[in-house]
Amino acid sequence: MIAFGGSLLDVLSSNTMYSSTVRFAALMAFAAVGEWVAEKSGTMNISVEGMILTGAFTAALGSYWFDNPWMALLIGMLGGFLVAAIHANMSHRLGANQFVVGLTLNVLAVGLTAFLDAQIRPTVTRVPEFEIPVLSSIPLIGDALFNRTWVLYLLYPLVPLAWFIVYRTRWGLEVRAVGENPQAADVSGIHVNKRRRQAIYFCGACAGMAGAYLTIGQSGSFAADGVSGRGFLALAAVIFGGWTLKGTIAGALVFGVFQALGSAYQALGYEANPSLLGALPYVMALATLLLFAYRSRQPSSLGRPFVRGLT
Amino acid sequence: MTAAAVSTDGLDGLDGVAGLDGAAGADNVATTADRRPPNAFLAVAGRSVPTVLLYVVSISAALGLCAILVSTTGGSATKVFSALLDGSIRSAGAWGITISTATPLLVVAIGTIVGAKAGMDNIGQEGQLLLGAGAAAFVATRLDAPGPVLLTASFLAAAAVGGLWASLAVLAKFTRRVPEVISTLLLIFIASQIITFALTKKWLLRALDSSSRTNNGEPLPKSARMPGIEIFGNVVSWGAVVALLLTAVIAVVLARTTIGFKLRMLGLNPRTARRFGVSAIGIGGGALIFSGAAAGLAGGLWLTGGTAGDRFTGGISSNIGWQGLLVALLARQKAALAIPMAFVFAGLRTGSNFVAATGVDRRITDVIQAMLVLSLLVPPAIQSLQRRRRRSGVAA
């Protein structure tokens, strides 16, 4: 037990731990920011997993076709947006059940990316690290946060931007209104389903960025099983955060720590059962939901379709 | 909740997310007219388009898109189609294999339908199935008993473990308000790690004489293989009969019994159901546990009667859970409809073995399956929109 405690301390204070926590957390944070906006508008967007996966693949395509990381990022965002466009229009225009659509899109994304990957086999150029001077020399966290690829740095303005959009613009007010009380929003002249669609588009673009970050910023290749449920962890992060942006980012960080723990533990040469460590982030996600889902107040109309004229 | 709100409550499911039934349920209590100008897309679709035509157009569009996808990536759509037919029904013995594959899909789908009818969206079948198969493998390789006893015991174990796994989601939902959609999803990943763990321990699932690095289960004894029935050169596993019986029983229970009525009422309108004294935990939780047990049983059936090989492996579930869930979605909560849908999906699955020979990646069938589901969501949605428009007196 003491040996275990010692190894845990060793792992937690290692540089590997910090840098892989940021690596895992950033992927989820990109997606979770988008998911947060979508949930604020009242959509429990489970297709976020498929959005990340599609974004990861289309970013690989972009890198393969143009050999330019900016184009890869753009096309990655476009891929996420495409999934969002299908989801938004099917569930908030045609009125199909949002869980069914989201689920099917996830399955579609898995099949389609695996198929196209096998047919096209895109090669990806990984974006090298770019060290931000001064900031990167902050002890402990500096290297982990400010000596990364520039794709990750996009997250830093994205978070305050999302906060500003949701809390300080008219559009954001309307998004929150349609998530809380769509009937009232409708009566006051807000096009409920349009706002919900737009929020999903935003989520798609963010999840696409997450995918692009995974492909061109982290692994330098596309792997069909590369996302493996981390979109769902992003979703759990939103619930963990009680539908606040701060909490959502904190959630992404916490789940990032648990994922990093698994990889850092082995990287430092300690013996631990890999499958138990692999289950850790999901177990912790579930545990945190058990703790927090009850207390926090979700958007009142989360997951409920809006049809005009119904109470 | 106002009195007016209560008075409009029929059994039409406007409360919350009305099950996994595709279209939003609430379309027949439009009290306020929808004054928006009609949508251009709907104007094209028209008011009087017959149902069949809508479905035909929608499905052809989906299949057409898949064909375009194959052609643009350098394959031949006709060859793929022909290979799918060969692999699923035309080649010798293919019928039997397709039916044996359809069996677990159908059982998963039936469970999902029961859950969805009660308004419980179980989407963790993949994990429940994997654990169920693991439990069946454990019993089948440890218990020394004659064939029928052994099979029954392993199926019971499979169903029990699948149900137990789903009951965790029930607990989380009713004690801590964790949405079952999220908890069942997360439980999939935990289940797969548990199985990976179990395959590293000889006292759990790992083969006793295994010295290789690949962790597989002990080969199943002969008596734990589901016997087959031979029909015109096709071997059909008895599991198919079990699945059909289960489907028939569930269809009758849902349509003709009090408990089935309570279940449907809970799914359609939880508020009304509560007033009639239907227990959300008892009936709703029970339905979710049943769907988990069905997925677990499907795992047992797949292990003993499917084409997954002679032993348990970590990859045994190979999307059967997900595909069974899609079958349930396609069947639109109708147990009888799940039978042909399961067969179609199984055909795509077995047919995909022949697709590789055409130079096209076999996972095109995954795309076809998802596209089919998406395409079948569109017609009912359009129709429900049209009904609503008509009733509220707005020219479409």
Q: What's the pLDDT tens digit per position in B9-24?
A: 333 333 344 445 544 4
Average pLDDT, chain A: 88
Task: Using pLDDT thresholds of 50, 70 and 90, give the confidence band for residue B184.
Answer: very high
DSSP state of A125: P
Q: Which of B345, B95, B88 is nearest to B230 (CA)?
A: B95
- Nearest residue in chain B measured CA to CA from A309: B32
**Res B223 pLDDT > 90:** no
- For residue B93, the model assigns a pLDDT of 78
What is the rounded CA–CA span in Å between residue B49 and residue B23?
A: 18
Task: Using pLDDT thresholds of 50, 70 and 90, give the confidence band for residue B77.
Answer: confident
Contact A283 B75 (CB under 8 A): no
Contacts of A307 in chain B (CB under 8 A): 14, 24, 26-27, 30, 388
- For residue B43, the model assigns a pLDDT of 47
Mean pLDDT lowest among A70-74, B286-290, B347-351: B347-351
What distance lies between CA B193 and its chain's CA centroid?
22
Task: Check CB contact of A239 with chain B, cutoff 8 Å.
Answer: yes
Contact A104 B329 (CB under 8 A): yes
Mean pLDDT lowest among B124-138, B166-180, B376-390: B376-390
User: What are the helix (H) ranges across A147-214?
Assistant: 150-153, 155-168, 170-180, 182-187, 192-212
Give the mutation candidate from B72, B352, B367 for the A interface (greatest A CB count, under 10 A). Answer: B367
Contacts of B73 in chain A (CB under 8 A): 115-116, 119-120
- Residue whose entry in the numeric block shows the structure tokens 């001064």: A134
Contacts of A97 in chain B (CB under 8 A): 17-24, 377
- For residue B219, the model assigns a pLDDT of 84
Q: Are B225 and B305 in contact (CB under 8 A)?
A: yes
Contact A229 B200 (CB under 8 A): no
Contact B33 A100 (CB under 8 A): no
Contacts of A228 in chain B (CB under 8 A): 189
**Chains A–B, number of C-beta pairs less than 8 Å apart:** 199
Contacts of B197 in chain A (CB under 8 A): 273, 275-276, 279
Structure tokens at B358: 């055409």
Q: Are B333 and B21 in contact (CB under 8 A)?
A: yes
Contact A290 B8 (CB under 8 A): no
Task: Check CB contact of A184 with chain B, cutoff 8 Å.
Answer: no
Contact B186 A120 (CB under 8 A): no
Burial grade of A242 (CB within 10 A; 0-12, 13-18, 19 or more): middle
CA distance A133 to chain B (A): 40
Contact A95 B177 (CB under 8 A): no
**Res A85 pLDDT > 90:** yes
The 10s digit of each residue's pLDDT in A204-226 is 999 999 999 999 988 888 988 88
**Res B226 pLDDT > 50:** yes
The 10s digit of each residue's pLDDT in A122-175 is 988 888 888 888 887 787 777 778 878 888 999 999 999 999 999 999 999 999
β-sheet bridge partners, residue B234: B231
What is the rounded CA–CA span in Å between residue B44 and residue B366?
A: 31
Mean pLDDT lowest among A9-13, A243-247, B256-260: A9-13
What is the rounded CA–CA span in Å between residue B365 and residue B362?
A: 6
Task: Check CB contact of A99 with chain B, cutoff 8 Å.
Answer: yes
- Residue whose entry in the numeric block shows the structure tokens 């349609």: A178
Task: Check CB contact of A276 with chain B, cutoff 8 Å.
Answer: yes
Amino acid letter for position A246: K
Of the candidates A99, A100, A279, which has its C-beta nearest B193's C-beta? Answer: A279
**How large is the average pLDDT for residues B107-129?**
94
Contact A95 B189 (CB under 8 A): no
Contact A311 B33 (CB under 8 A): no
- For residue B177, the model assigns a pLDDT of 85
Q: Which of B326, B350, B265, B301 is nearest to B18 (CA)?
A: B265
CA distance A118 to chain B (A): 6
Task: Using pLDDT thresholds of 50, 70 and 90, give the confidence band for residue A1.
Answer: low
Listed in sequence order, the residues at least 6 apart from A108 whose beta carbon sits closer than 8 Å to its beta carbon are: A50, B366, B367, B370, B371, B374
Contact B189 A229 (CB under 8 A): yes
What is the rounded CA–CA span in Å between residue B352 and residue A279?
A: 31
Give the mutation candidate from B186, B197, B365 for the A interface (greatest A CB count, under 10 A). Answer: B186
DSSP state of A127: P
* Percent of chain B scoring above 70 in pLDDT: 85
- Complex ipTM > 0.90: no
Contact A99 B363 (CB under 8 A): no
- Nearest residue in chain A measured CA to CA from B18: A97
Contact A99 B123 (CB under 8 A): yes
